[in-house]
Amino acid sequence: MTQYTAVTDADLAEMLSAIGVSSIQELFDRQIPADVRLGRSLDLPAGLPEQEVYAHLRALAAGNVSAEDEITFLGAGMYDHYVPAVIDMLLGRSEFLTPYTPYQPEVSQGNLQAMFEYQTAISELTGLPVSNASVYEGPSAVASAGYLARLANGKPKFVVSRGLHPHSRETLQTYAHGFGAEIVEVPLRDGVTDPEAWAAAIDGETGAVFFQQPNFLGAVEDATALASAAKDSPAVVVGQYDPIPLGVLKPPGECGVDVCVGEGQTLGNRLDFGGPSFGFFAATEAYLRRMPGRIAGETVDADGRRGFVLTLQTREQHIRREKATSNICTAQALNALAGVVYLTWLGKQGLVDLGELLLQRTHYAREQLVALDGVEALHSQPVVREFALSLPGCDVASVIRRCQDEGVNPGYALGRDYDELPDGLLVALTEQRSKADIDRLVEVLGAAVAAERTAVGASA
């Protein structure tokens, strides 16, 4: 017996007698052949009381430098937005935390309606009429959009902007190698997808095109132009979007995007060192029956009362098996619930206000940083919440370390993913970074760059 099981000696005797065996071991011996039984204890530490497990996990947490411990400008796909208290409170409720997929709609209306509301919110955000109830996370959502295209038109070539998140490009590549599509990458020019190379890469064999808005370097792409370049091809136009900037940016549904996917972490989900979060997946009506994942729909019950069910399930693996639109089996229901609660918390005007605030602060931060000696803008495109700098002649990792020693994490070293940008630094903002924080970054980064240039100069 452990803290989570309840079989007393008296229970055990009664249960074994009801079953008609003499021991629990007999249940295993009669079903598992001797040659594959383990026959020893697992080589793992002994169990611990709750307070000791807590202490251990707290000690591990203390071995990390979190956004609680430094002023962070790290983004590159996940962002340190404030998670409102109502989310902790609602997600902690047993009724949301501990049920499973709503297989029995009569006792899952809370979940199903939350999915329906989530779908509505994502549709509104993206300007696309159809949304599923969420998928695993961002980059795999991009890859799933590729599979949708593969099933929809069968064309073997995917055209991918180099501005797409490196993790999305890698994930798409991994999936595409399986189902047999080739990736053609289009380079960036002055921070955005090179429009001529993009148009030239798209032809009658292109199954899908992929870009990111804003792109990985923080630059706002001309989404309408990118989408329209694919108009005369069979390609499905896929945009990976950061949802927060959609408070101010033209929605993909108005730009000619067919499938909009993205990482939902910024909508009320914690950083959690990369997950769990959710991926959103929205599309034009034409792809309704090709969507991966769960979809909730409205209907009525036997008494005519309004209610919600999982619908269009014939797309899914448990029914269509090898012909399914995806192998995905659930949604990220709890994380998507955080998403719709967050969007509700922000509200119609709040999302706009948040976007405008980020625009202004991001603009201010870029101006201030670019004014520093040894710091340049990597591109001059409009940005919303994130921008790329270059620190010519500096070892960026070393600059970051110097800043972190001063309690500021200045951002992400682009050279980790972009060989052509060895001195690039990607700086991200959220509403949690005030003017005072930005000013502190300017001070610390300026000093770090100066020190680094001195160090490099001295060693040269």
Return the residues of window 177-236 that contact another protein according to CB under 8 A.
177-180, 220, 222, 224
Q: Would you count residue 250 as binding another protein (CB under 8 A)?
A: yes
Q: Would you count residue 9 as binding another protein (CB under 8 A)?
A: no
Q: How many CB atoms are located within 10 Å of the residue 42 CB?
A: 6
The one among 331, 378, 414, 441 contacting another protein by CB under 8 A: 331
The one among 156, 189, 228, 317 contacting another protein by CB under 8 A: 317
Amino acid type, 351: L
| Of residues 341-360, those binding another protein (CB under 8 A) | 341, 343-354, 356-357, 359-360
Do 354 and 244 form a contact (C-beta atoms < 8 A)? yes
Instruction: Work out how close the CB of 451 gets to another protein at its nearest, in angstroms, rounded to a whole number.
Output: 18
Instruction: Work out how close the CB of 443 gets to another protein at its nearest, in angstroms, rounded to a whole number.
Output: 16
* Token duo for residue 281: 């997946």
* Token duo for residue 155: 């064309």
* Token duo for residue 382: 């409009």
The one among 9, 33, 459, 460 contacting another protein by CB under 8 A: 33
Q: Would you count residue 273 as binding another protein (CB under 8 A)?
A: yes
Nearer to another protein, 200 or 435 (CB): 435
Helix (H, G, I), strand (E, B) or coil at 239: strand
Q: Would you count residue 7 as binding another protein (CB under 8 A)?
A: yes
Half-sphere exposure of 406 (CA within 13 A, CB side): 17
Do 282 and 123 form a contact (C-beta atoms < 8 A)? yes
Instruction: Work out how close the CB of 436 gets to another protein at its nearest, in angstroms, rounded to a whole number.
Output: 8
Return the ∠ at Cα 111 (arms to 105 and 114), rounded to 5°: 125
* Token duo for residue 40: 């020893």
The one among 22, 97, 182, 286 contacting another protein by CB under 8 A: 97
Do 359 and 353 form a contact (C-beta atoms < 8 A)? no
* Token duo for residue 10: 């008296």
Nearer to another protein, 364 or 418 (CB): 364
Q: How many CB atoms are located within 10 Å of the residue 354 CB?
A: 19
The one among 95, 373, 458, 460 contacting another protein by CB under 8 A: 95
* Axis crossing angle, helix 109-126 with helix 333-370, rounded to the nearest 10: 30
| Of residues 388-417, those binding another protein (CB under 8 A) | 400-401, 404, 409, 412, 416
Q: Would you count residue 3 as binding another protein (CB under 8 A)?
A: yes
CA distance 338 to 329: 20
Return the ∠ at Cα 437 (arms to 353 and 348), rounded to 5°: 10
Instruction: Work out how close the CB of 375 gets to another protein at its nearest, in angstroms, rounded to a whole number.
Output: 18
Q: Would you count residue 263 as binding another protein (CB under 8 A)?
A: yes
Q: Would you count residue 13 as binding another protein (CB under 8 A)?
A: no
The one among 210, 241, 308, 387 contacting another protein by CB under 8 A: 308
Q: Would you count residue 314 as binding another protein (CB under 8 A)?
A: yes
Q: Would you count residue 309 as binding another protein (CB under 8 A)?
A: yes
The one among 183, 199, 364, 376 contacting another protein by CB under 8 A: 364
The one among 9, 18, 419, 460 contacting another protein by CB under 8 A: 18
Q: What string marks each residue from 146 to 175 as x (binds another protein by CB under 8 A) or -? A: -x-----------------x-xx-xx-xxx
CA distance 401 to 394: 12
* Token duo for residue 285: 């009506």
Backbone dihedral region for residue 275 (phi beyond 0: left; psi -120 to 50: alpha; all else: beta):
left
Do 416 and 424 form a contact (C-beta atoms < 8 A)? no
The one among 156, 195, 234, 307 contacting another protein by CB under 8 A: 307
Choices 136-144, 154-162, 194-202, 229-237 (CB under 8 A): range interacting with another protein: 136-144
Question: Which position has the token pair 């979940």?
Answer: 111
Nearer to another protein, 63 or 457 (CB): 63
Nearest to 326 by CA among 180, 167, 143: 143
Instruction: Work out how close the CB of 40 gets to another protein at its nearest, in angstroms, rounded to a whole number.
Output: 9
Q: Would you count residue 448 as binding another protein (CB under 8 A)?
A: no
Q: Would you count residue 271 as binding another protein (CB under 8 A)?
A: yes
Nearer to another protein, 163 or 253 (CB): 253
Nearest to 333 by CA among 196, 66, 134, 193: 134
* Token duo for residue 452: 């680094």
